[in-house]
Amino acid sequence: MTERGGERKFLADAALGRLARYLRMLGYDVVYLRDEGGAAVLRETLRTGRTLLTRRRDLACRDDVEAFWVEADAVSAQLTATAKHFGLRFTPEAMNRCLECNEPLTPVSKAEVEEGLPPHVRKTQNKFARCPNCGRLYWPGTHYARAVARLLEALRESR
Ligand SMILES: [Zn+2]
């Protein structure tokens, strides 16, 4: 594969919401079509030229789209298989993309957000970023550490 993984853009079908979030953590640009059926997914893939990630074998086998059939049920196995197929890795955009809407995050100062924070977060965290689209606030907490561990394991297994 000549293309660098970080430049690849994905489109995930309705069955792959959790996989889409993990790929966004790695920094990949992933459009997730939560409510769309096969026809709409296909139309959007053709329109955008993105690489389709799908649970549907019939969509993955078409000649007119670049697609990967995600065969596994468990998200960790899906992640490993996808990472292996595309040679995925942490990109420069890793942990800097909204997991809900795929938008790159904007750094915000602690002073700007301090007031609304839970006390333990205010005490322990200093780096914050906000999604310009949905307004969600992100910081590297314990949840994040677990997600990174899972990603590292999947990438290791994909080698
Ligand atoms: Zn967002």
Please say if the pLDDT value at position 116 is more than 80: yes
3-state secondary structure of 29: strand
Confidence band, pLDDT 50/70/90 cuts, at residue 146: confident
Could you tell me the pTM of the whole model? Answer: 0.88
Which whole number is the average pLDDT over 48-77? 95
| Dist. CA 115 → ligand 1 center (Å) | 20
CA distance 22 to 152: 11
Domain boundaries along the sequence of the chain = 5-95+151-158, 106-139
* pLDDT computed for residue 82 by the predictor: 96
The model's pLDDT over 8-35, given as tens digits with 9 standing for 90+, comes to: 999 999 999 999 999 999 999 999 999 9
| Dist. CA 102 → ligand 1 center (Å) | 7
Q: Tokens for 152, please give them.
A: 């590292």
| Dist. CA 37 → ligand 1 center (Å) | 23
| Dist. CA 29 → ligand 1 center (Å) | 13
Spell out the CATH class of 5-95+151-158.
Answer: alpha beta
In Å, how far are 37, 74, 83, 84, 159 from 5, measured between CA atoms? 27, 23, 9, 11, 14
Confidence band, pLDDT 50/70/90 cuts, at residue 1: very low
| Dist. CA 131 → ligand 1 center (Å) | 5
| Dist. CA 106 → ligand 1 center (Å) | 11
